[in-house]
Structure 1
Amino acid sequence: MTVPPSEVLLKRACAQVGLSSFGARPIRIGENAIYSLPSRVVVRIGRSGQATAAAKEVAVSRWLESAEVPAVKAFPDIDQPLVIDGSPVTFWRELPEHRHGTPPEVAAVLKRLHASPLPTDFELPALTPFVRLAERIDRAKTLADDDRGWLRHQLAQLTKAFAELPAGLPRCTIHGDAWAGNVVVTADGPVLLDLERFSLGPPEWDLVSTAVRLSTFGTMTAKDYESFAAAYGHDVLKWDGFDVLRDIRELRITCYAAQRASEEQSVRAEAALRVACLRGLRGPRPWPDWKPLS
């Protein structure tokens, strides 16, 4: 039996820091491979060449702990990340039993994060909402030429619009990917997960991740959204720049589906649906037929 490359890296990394990888359980194997060890340590193996990003995640985790913002915690007393054959490996404390956060709980932890002072021992990068989108459009083999051209034009238009966003809330530290799955609740309260996209930017970017559940996907009730906005103290749907950030979010997840469709036939119908919706061919929002991609 061939051992997956991530398991080889896992064993080598654990041995290097004195942890046993025996009995490791895969949590998710994708762009990043994530394993849980019986010792309640989570090991994350990143993509080759992503050591700088992994180092930022560890720095962000330690800063959040000092700022008393609840988030996943990097395992202490290990100089992280390890880099093995080009792939960064980081170690994290496993969370206790938890559930997904409710809209008010998501809002509360985001409000706490956005109010935190900026870190002083490292510099957060500026938000880059268009990272890898051009490459995904160009490399999506299943896109029709007309769809590819439209997506390229939409990307250009949104890039310009993002640079000209109207005034909003003060820029601050943002999570960068603050959808509901990245906030869980333990017995001690809400906890932020996935620190990869932490950056400096408009807090509205984090709020839009919840707002699109109502406006784009129709998977949230108006009452639940109102509870989110009330808990945060701001309704991003009423901001003049909402449509721009909403459209960028929609473009991002559509380009991701198009990339996946090039590799997985089962995703092709979903990718085509998303492109058609963005192009106005499936009626007005919301589009409840969109299916999440694992």
Structure 2
Amino acid sequence: MALTDERLTTIAHRLLDVPGVVGVVLGGSRARGTHTEDSDYDLGLYYRSPLDTKRLGELAVEVAGPGSGVTAVGEWGPWVDGGGWLRIDGAAVDWLYRDVDRVERCWAEAERGRYGFHTQGGHPLGVPDHAYPGELALARILADPTGDLATLQRRVRVFPRPLAEALVAGLWEADFLAGVARKAVTRGDSAYVAGCLFRLVGVLTHALHGAAGRWLINEKGAVAATAVLPGAPGAFRSRVDAIFAALDADPSHLTAAIDLAADLVLETTDACAIMMR
């Protein structure tokens, strides 16, 4: 069931009554207009510590019914933070905590061209810290009484050139991964090769998004999103599919997959250089 903009705004303003919450945004595919009928509603709850999760849990029951609840801050891990998976008016609605101070720190690092991928359950590449400002850049603000989120959003919507340069410079790792993957070929170690090539592809997607000045905030759909970037290597998505389709314990197949990946690294490097001119 779809939620109306009016209903979402009403929920957002009720969330403002929770101590610590300073603003609420609609994120994910619903904000970008790429959603399907079955897509969840991702509500980003931007807060300044301390966040009153007891009151937030009570509100979850009020709007989503008995049995609904939320986590403590940090319960979902160091980078996803916490929240709640709810059903409101028959629709799946996720409440996701975002610490405003942390978002601002990640933005400051991105402006300096500093980034990292951080270990987090459910994120095999790791959570990129620059995804925090990227989420806000792509979100639709539902409630922001102080205007702080709108002010920050105007800044983060301009992709920082130093971050673009750093992500492109990070292509050295993709080349390195292709090399170390080859060391596992004679052992038929398809799992290790697959791991190397997954990370290699992740590095390529972020470099190409950086060169294009576009935020990439999710591993899911990253290859498809990269394939439609202006200037990306041709047939990017089908070539990535071909890499992983070739993986099994046969050394000749593993070598073929790595060769395909190495070619894509070279073309990505050239594409990024052209895009960054």
The structure that is helix-richer by fraction is 2
Shorter-normalised TM range = 0.3 to 0.5
TM-score w.r.t. the length of structure 2 is 0.34
Higher RCO (Cα < 8 Å, 6 or more apart): 1
